[in-house]
Structure 1
Amino acid sequence: MKKTHDPYAALRYKEFNTFLLLRFAMVFAWSMQFIVIEWQVYSLTKNPLSLGIIGLMEVIPAVAMALFAGHIVDQKEKKGLLFKCILGFSVISFGLFLLTWPSIVSEYSTKAILYGIYFMVFLGGIVRSFLGPTIFSLLSLIVPKKVYPNAATWSSSVWQIGSVLGPAVAGFSITLIGVHWSMCSVFLCSIFSLIALSQISTKPILNPKIGEPIMDSLKEGVKFVFQNKTILGALSLDMVAVLFGGAVALLPIFAQDILKVGPEGFGVLRAAPAVGSFLILIISAYVPMNKNAGMKLLSAIFAFGLCIIVFGLSTIFWLSVLALFFSGVVDGISVVIRQTILQLKTPDHMRGRVSAVNSIFVGSSNELGAFESGLTAKLMGTVTSVVFGGSMTLLIVLGTGIFSPGFRKLDLQKDIEEHEKGE
């Protein structure tokens, strides 16, 4: 008899539920913090390039440290590393709490406060370079291989819940309690994450090459990614789409100057893509997307580009919200397929390094996309820059589909069936 798909397979493991709670708190805090800082910086400068600089300040250390961080993650115990990452984030959020305190802000020039915020964001980039690979590696130690795909889906879903609530709460909290106390809420969330982490047991180190020279380790990780055409194709395609589709970095401009909807509308706009992604991720737990994964991924990113173009051209608030919502829906499909590829195709002892390369390709492209959007908005205007980014996404997806027939025909069903047999 054919085994029935269990949409709750990963949720039957107690530590995985604690892991989801921890991840939610961190994503909620990080996304809320980013939105609050975006709003504060643009309010201080009224310069779209300053929004791009926020992204640049985070991406520089994140990219520079990523491979080194991946090596450390593969060599060290994961729970201890995650504790240090969350503690570092707590220090940064407390620093931003101080930098938005009216009594402190009044004592310094706008430039000094701005530079202080940029510095804290820079430190956050360092923390993030370790956080992503650590969480990715810890997940694989909490559940058995046979439920990796299901665990990846639920983990991505929780990430999207945090991404939904973080921006939405940030938009409303700026209005209700101000930027300063909004940052205090972020700090409290990081403390909660530390408490949740204490409920997860210490995990073994599965790397057979403990003590391996760092350069050899880094070369092995990069070589693995570039030789695995499936992983490389998924990461490259998603990176380019996010890079040129970084319209969300310009949302403060759309909210304040184009749509004129204030911080409440800003929160709705910022949350709309995450709501769409969350809904599709929940659906994917019941309806797996493993068959014809390559074509589905190409189609999803093409649709993403179309949504970005519609958003850029819209001057109607609810049309803009719908465009962002559907961009989140198709982005959610992309996230599910990409995370499934990474979990299935990555050996346990290389998860830190592969995740680090992933953070360079995809995670950092969010900040590079923010910088690209801010720079092109400064040079060619806000609307034109968004339409340009969406158009580039369409062209790149079409090129990939035409010139990479192997990726277009990618199907993950066989890999899924092998893992579901268990170890």
Structure 2
Amino acid sequence: MRSRLPPALRERDFALLWVASGTTGLASQMILVAVGWQVYEIHRNPFDLGLIGLAEFVPLLLLALPAGQLADRVSRRAIIAVALVVDTAVAALLLVVTVADARTLWPYLALAALTGAAASVSAPALRALLPELVAPELMASAMALRAVSWQSAVVAGPVVGGVLFSALPELPYAVAVGLFLVAVGCVLAVRRRPAAVLRGDETFGWASLVGGVRFLLRTRMVLGAILLDLFAVLFGGAISLAPVFASSILHVGPVGLGALRSAPAVGAVVAGVLLARRPLRRPAGPTLLIVVALFGVSMIAFGLSRWLPLSLAALAVAGFVDMISMNIRATTVALVTPNELRGRVMAVEMVFIGASNELGAFESGVVASLVGTVASVVAGGVATIAIALAWTRLFPSLAHLRRLEDLQPEPVRVA
């Protein structure tokens, strides 16, 4: 039975961390549905939902760099475990708020900010810990499995959370507490390893704090991979406009909207399972640019479609190729970054990812309001294709990247 598992899942410590990621993702998605419903019911104002998102995003901007430095100084496993304990406490407090039938917004805002802070602190440590648990030749498979775990939670979590909330509003939070506790146990069961430490000539100061930024600026391959993802999502990501397509263009109602929202995750899960079983063998750099261009093509098809099955297929393809792109980017960043800088580099990458998601939704809305929804999506797809073509000249080291498993960490330079 064990031999039938993907190679990365045969590694005990990675398997534990994978289970922890899956249970955490499922719990978080369940909470997202329950909180969204309760917050909207307070004033029935969509602006309140935006405030919840803002409360979660602000800690990312404030804590990302310090969190990255922390992940390079103390036990990454301990950071993740403490953050999960905070998540457990937040779920328990949301349970209390629900039992008390609170009808004010501030408890939800405060707990959303606490959730954002925990995520901001734990994410660099989690991403930096993965390369310590698996061999370089298994990194691509491990990254794919981790993404499958998250995307599966994105698909299943809202459904499970909605069903539980319909039965009893307290249930999603009670189940989430249990899931978070399982995650804590899994993380603590990871065998102790020496904590990653800063180089002896560094102190806990500004120069060390921006060490990840300096590394990115001088390492063109890593910088190109992160910026490619940033611009592709910023210009090509159009899922935030799905309500407009469902209501005014495809005329498919709430059920169709749910299908549109789920389609990219379904495509991503399929790609992730394939990558976990059979990691990428062809040249990684050209493949990365091709799948980013295909992401743009799929967005153009989605923007022009007036038929729900075609729209779903286009979004599923977008999710499929986006998963391949993410897998190549994440594996490249993890393997090229030296261990003593991984926390700080992952923190900077996390800011880029968060900014691309938030600003991408804003950009789509602004452009759609100016030139129309269809034109906005099509233009974004064209821009994504142009970016993929431009990267062949701007970042040749990335464009000509061959086998991922041959990547080696860049040497750490003394500032």
Give yes or no for TM over 0.5: yes
Q: CA deviation at 1:30?
A: 2.5
Q: CA RMSD in A?
A: 3.4
Where 1:209 maps in the other structure, the secondary structure is coil
**Contact 1:273-1:327 at 8 Å conserved across structures:** yes
Gap regions ≥5 residues in structure 1: 1-5
Aligned equivalent of 2:70: 72
Measured after TM superposition, the shift of residue 315 of structure 1 is 4.7
Deviations 1:242-263 (A, max 9, x none): 2233433344555567656566
Q: What is the CA–CA distance in structure 2 between the aligned matches of 1:44 and 1:414, rounded to whole Å?
A: 52
What aligned pairs does 1:20-35 form with structure 2 within 5 A after superposition? 20-35=18-33
1:393 Cα deviation from its structure 2 partner: 2.5
Q: CA deviation at 1:412?
A: 2.9
Distance 1:256 1:334 in 2: 30
CA distance in 1, matches of 2:46, 2:235: 16
- Structure 2 Cα separation of the partners of residues 148 and 255 of structure 1: 38
Instruction: Give distance in 2, aligned partners of 1:7 and 1:185.
Output: 28
Which AA in structure 2 matches 1:240? Answer: F
Q: 1:409 aligned to 2:389?
A: no
TM-superposed deviation, 1:29 = 2.3
**Corresponding residue SS for 1:291:** coil
Q: Is the 8 A contact 2:83 2:118 kept in 1?
A: yes
* Cα distance, 1:152 vs structure 2: 2.6
Aligned to 1:104: 101
Tell me how many residue pairs correspond in the alignment.
Answer: 405
The corresponding residue for 1:285 is 276
The answer (yes or no) to whether the contact 1:82–1:131 under 8 Å persists in 2 is yes
- Residue 303 of structure 1 deviates from its aligned partner by 1.7
Please report how far the alpha carbon of residue 20 of structure 1 lies from its aligned counterpart in structure 2 after TM superposition: 0.9
> Measured at CA, do residues 402 and 52 of structure 1 come closer, stay the same or move farther in structure 2, by a change above 3 Å?
farther
Contact 1:92 1:124 in 2 (8 A): yes
**Which deviates further from its counterpart, 269-278 or 364-373?**
364-373
Aligned partner letter, 2:12:
K
Q: Which has the higher contact order (CA 8 A, sep 6+)?
A: 1
User: How far is the alpha carbon of 1:280 from its aligned partner?
Assistant: 1.1
**What code does the residue aligned with 1:13 have?**
E
Alpha-carbon distance between aligned partners in 2 of 1:47 and 1:369, rounded to the nearest angstrom: 22
**What amino acid is the match of 1:104?**
D
Shift of 1:184: 4.3
CA–CA distance in 2 between the matches of 1:307 and 1:34?
28
1:158 correspondence with 2:155: no
Tell me, in whole angstroms, the C-alpha distance in 1 between the residues paired with 2:346 and 2:284: 20
| Residue deviations 1:15-50 (CA, integer Å, cap 9, x gap) | 221111001111222234345555666677777766
Could you say which residue in structure 1 is the equivalent of 2:188? 198
2:7 counterpart letter in structure 1: A
AA of the residue aligned to 1:190: F
The answer (yes or no) to whether the contact 1:172–1:267 under 8 Å persists in 2 is: no
Within 5 A, what are the aligned runs for 1:142-153? 142-153=133-144
2:226 aligned with 1:235, yes or no? yes
SS at match of 1:76: coil
Runs of at least 5 residues in structure 2 that lack an aligned partner in the other structure = 410-415
CA 257–80 in structure 1, closer or farther in 2 if over 3 Å, else same: farther
Once residues 87 and 41 of structure 1 are traced to their aligned partners in structure 2, the CA distance between those partners, rounded to angstroms, is: 24
Match of 2:363 among 372, 385, 388: 372
Whether 1:188 aligns to 2:178 is yes
Q: Give me the TM-score of the superposition, normalised by structure 1.
A: 0.82
Q: State how far apart, in whole Å, the 1-side matches of 2:296 and 2:159 are.
A: 24
Q: Note if contact 2:22-2:153 (Cα within 8 Å) is conserved in structure 1.
A: yes
Q: How far apart, in 2, do the equivalents of 1:257 and 1:342 lie?
A: 41
Q: Does 1:133 align with 2:124?
A: yes
2:208 equivalent in structure 1: 217
User: Are the structure 2 counterparts of residues 349 and 278 from structure 1 closer, same or farther at C-alpha, using a change threshold of 3 Å?
Assistant: same
Residue-by-residue CA offset, 1:147-181 (whole Å, 9 max, x unaligned): 3333333323323332332244346556x437664
Out of 301, 305, 309, the residue aligned to residue 310 of structure 1 is 301
Distance 2:43 2:309 in 1: 27
Q: State percent identity of aligned pairs.
A: 34
C-alpha change, 1:95 and 1:388, in structure 2 (3 Å) is farther
* Residues 73, 81 of structure 1: 8 Å contact kept: yes
Shift of 1:66: 0.7
Change (3 A) 1:206 1:120: closer
Asked if 2 retains the 8 angstrom alpha-carbon contact of 1:167 and 1:267, the reply is no
1:7-86 equivalences under 5 Å are: 8-37=6-35, 54-86=52-84
In structure 2, distance between residues paired with 1:39 and 1:313: 32
Equivalent positions of 1:331-342 (< 5 A) are: 331-342=322-333
> How much does 1:103 deviate?
6.4
- State the alpha-carbon separation in 2 of the partners of residues 387 and 378 from structure 1: 14
| 1:69 positional shift | 0.4
Q: Distance in 2 between matches of 1:57 and 1:24?
A: 24
Distance of 1:351 and 1:305 partners within structure 2: 30
Q: Alpha carbons of 1:327 and 1:168: their partners in 2 closer, same or farther (altered >3 Å)? A: farther
Relative distance call for 1:41 and 1:203 in structure 2 (3 A) is same
Cα distance change, pair 229–277 in 1 and its aligned pair in 2 (3 A) = same
TM-score, normalising length from structure 2?
A: 0.83
Instruction: Note closer, same or farther for the CA distance 1:127–1:249 as it changes in structure 2 (3 Å cut).
Output: farther
Distance 1:57 1:294, change over 3 A: farther
